[in-house]
Amino acid sequence: MQKEEFMREAIRLSIENVESGNGGPFGAVIVKDGKIIARGVNNVTSTNDPTAHAEVVAIRNACKEVGSFQLDGCEIYTSCEPCPMCLGAIYWARPDKMYFANTKKDAAAINFDDQFIYEELELPYSKRKLPTEQLLREEALLGFKKWSESTKKIEY
């Protein structure tokens, strides 16, 4: 299969998801060695899970398939430029390459606008729309200290 065929599958999934009423118009596939190993569609409303975006669902499925928390040697094809959460998940999963079809401006035009999140991240905590307050940092640092010293950890 070619890149365009993989992207067409992600697009097909996005359209099918809308037609089925299961969620938003987003689909993703993950490819390894020229074969689709995982698919994902937006399941936010059907599962009451705000993290069930197509890319995250596909990443979860692909990681199960390859038995790893990293997607080395994989590519992700997504029907739309990823939101901040999905982009973060993609970076953490470490695929070799990402392809997208619709842009974030295309998504904003149909009321899937993530610009406010990008803007919020740049603000000091006291200026954010979500009230944010730091608590018990000194106590929490113990977990980080234990991680740093652990001989059982698997680095990622």
Question: Mean pLDDT across the stretch 135-154?
Answer: 92
Q: How confident is the model at residue 113 (pLDDT cuts 50, 70, 90)?
A: confident
**Predicted pLDDT at 154:** 85
Share of the chain above pLDDT 90, in %: 91
| Residue 1 reports pLDDT greater than 80 | no
Q: How confident is the model at residue 63 (pLDDT cuts 50, 70, 90)?
A: very high
| Residue 65 reports pLDDT greater than 80 | yes
User: How high is the mean pLDDT of the chain?
Assistant: 95
SS3 track for the chain: CCHHHHHHHHHHHHHHHHHHCCCCCCEEEEEECCEEEEEEECCHHHHCCCCCCHHHHHHHHHHHHHCCCCCCCEEEEEEECCCHHHHHHHHHHCCCEEEEEECHHHHHHCCCCCHHHHHHHHCCHHHCCCCCCCCCHHHHHHHHHHHHHCCCCCCC
Question: Mean pLDDT across the stretch 133-141?
Answer: 94
Q: Which residues are catalytic?
A: 55
**Predicted pLDDT at 47:** 96
Q: How confident is the model at residue 29 (pLDDT cuts 50, 70, 90)?
A: very high
